């Protein structure tokens, strides 16, 4: 497998949001492949704190900065060939609590990252979008499926809109300025070091705290769950593929589909005695989300490998270790 990525050896890769959940996993893999990595992050969230060994490694540079500061981004990008743009405000409660900030960071921050990348002579730029761009019903959606985002009056869609605008900026910027730009749409990623609000992280935190797992609504909402090492593989493939520039790719695992209640039951079964509680949902819910990944399979050779049960066991074990 590492042979597929030999072309990355020796490259300097800047990750905005590099101290985050997916960023730290990407950074570790890039280091294994012989890259130098620059982690640019304002530490709004901190997954890096859970892997002190990563910061201490040779070929890792940590830059504390904000993506709203274009000059800082441009400085940090000097000498890099690739930018992975992950920094964003994510998490459903943030869209409700900080909608304007979410729009500013996610849209203006992406424009800054693109402009800084152009000024720094970056060759490849990957923008992290989201499966939320499909709105509340997203069953087997392809990259060309329509965006059924809900009304502008509902704060639930602030994040999705910011990410969709960022996709347009990324692709149009690439065409206008001759930069190889790509967007990836992660579908429900989970794994060790996730500090955000995903259901799996929430369930694991509840288990280690000896609390019941809280399932919102009637538990019938459906998601396809993708383990973090699989998205890392998909993203790296966009960096070495001749077919990735100018395109958007769904990255997820359509085989590992589960309802929220089913997910809670699987986690509870790992630690017998864990209780499940049903709670009313007070926000717009996304009912169903499963990606069609034929484009990533066909054009990148992407294939998710980690089953939900295997990934859940690893994730829960990590949360327990942290607690210990």
Ligand X SMILES: NC(=O)c1ccc[n+]([C@@H]2O[C@H](COP(=O)([O-])OP(=O)(O)OC[C@H]3O[C@@H](n4cnc5c(N)ncnc54)[C@H](O)[C@@H]3O)[C@@H](O)[C@H]2O)c1
The footprint of ligand X (CB under 6 A) covers 17, 19-23, 41-45, 47, 66-68, 86-90, 105, 109, 128, 130-131, 186, 188-189, 195-196, 198
From the centroid of its chain, how far is CA 217?
A: 25
* Cβ proximity to ligand X, 125 vs 128, nearer residue: 128
In angstroms, give the least distance from the CB of 189 to ligand X.
Answer: 4
In angstroms, give the least distance from the CB of 10 to ligand X.
Answer: 25
* Cβ proximity to ligand X, 122 vs 184, nearer residue: 184
In angstroms, give the least distance from the CB of 273 to ligand X.
Answer: 28
* Cβ proximity to ligand X, 9 vs 168, nearer residue: 168
Q: Where are the alpha helices (DSSP H) in 62-217?
A: 70-77, 92-97, 99-103, 109-119, 158-177, 199-208
* Cβ proximity to ligand X, 232 vs 268, nearer residue: 232
In angstroms, give the least distance from the CB of 86 to ligand X.
Answer: 4
**DSSP helix/strand/coil, 150:** coil
* Cβ proximity to ligand X, 192 vs 196, nearer residue: 196
- Closest residue by Cα to residue 138 from 129, 148, 130, 128: 148
| CA dist., res. 320 & res. 314, Å (int) | 10
| CA dist., res. 111 & res. 104, Å (int) | 10
* Cβ proximity to ligand X, 53 vs 272, nearer residue: 53
* Cβ proximity to ligand X, 55 vs 212, nearer residue: 55
What does the DSSP 8-state code read for residue 219?
A: S
* Cβ proximity to ligand X, 49 vs 178, nearer residue: 49
How, if at all, do strands 226-227 and 189-190 pair? parallel
Residue nearest ligand X (C-beta atom): 20
Neighbours of 287 (CB within 10 A): 14
Output the 3-class SS for 269-298. HHCCCCCEEEECCCCCCCCEEEECCHHHHH
Contact 86, 20 (CB under 8 A): yes
Evaluated on CA atoms 79, 230, 190, 181, the torsion sign reads positive
Angle at CA of residue 87, ends 82 and 89, nearest 5°:
160
The helix (H) or strand (E) run that includes residue 38 is strand 36-41
In angstroms, give the least distance from the CB of 275 to ligand X.
Answer: 26
In angstroms, give the least distance from the CB of 274 to ligand X.
Answer: 23
| CA dist., res. 166 & res. 130, Å (int) | 10
């Amino acid at each position: 497998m590492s042979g597929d990525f030999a072309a990355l050896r020796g490259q300097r890769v800047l990750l905005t949001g590099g101290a985050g959940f997916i960023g730290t996993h990407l950074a570790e893999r890039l280091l294994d492949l012989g890259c130098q990595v620059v982690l640019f992050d304002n530490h709004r969230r901190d997954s890096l704190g859970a892997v002190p060994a990563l910061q201490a490694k040779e070929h890792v540079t940590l830059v504390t900065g904000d993506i709203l500061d274009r000059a800082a981004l441009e400085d940090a990008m000097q000498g890099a060939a690739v930018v992975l743009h992950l920094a964003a405000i994510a998490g459903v409660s943030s869209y409700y609590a900080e909608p304007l900030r979410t729009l500013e960071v996610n849209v203006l921050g992406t424009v800054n990252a693109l402009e800084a990348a152009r000024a720094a002579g970056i060759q490849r730029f990957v923008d992290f979008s989201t499966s939320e761009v499909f709105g509340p019903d997203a069953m087997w959606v392809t990259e060309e499926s329509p965006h059924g985002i809900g009304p502008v009056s509902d704060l639930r869609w602030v994040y999705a809109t910011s990410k969709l605008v960022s996709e347009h900026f990324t692709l149009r910027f690439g065409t206008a300025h001759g930069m190889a730009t790509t967007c990836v749409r992660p579908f429900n990623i989970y794994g060790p070091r996730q500090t955000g609000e995903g259901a799996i992280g929430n369930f694991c935190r509840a288990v280690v705290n000896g609390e019941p797992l809280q399932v919102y609504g009637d538990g019938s909402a459906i998601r396809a769950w993708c383990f973090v090492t699989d998205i890392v593989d998909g993203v790296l493939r966009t960096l070495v593929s001749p077919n990735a520039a100018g395109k958007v790719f769904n990255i997820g695992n359509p085989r590992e589909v589960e309802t929220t209640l089913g997910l809670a039951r699987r986690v509870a079964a790992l630690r017998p005695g864990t209780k499940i509680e049903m709670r009313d949902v007070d926000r717009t819910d996304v009912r169903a989300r499963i990606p069609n990944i034929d484009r990533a399979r066909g054009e990148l050779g992407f294939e998710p490998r980690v089953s939900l049960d295997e990934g859940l066991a690893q994730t829960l074990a990590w949360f327990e270790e942290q607690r210990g």
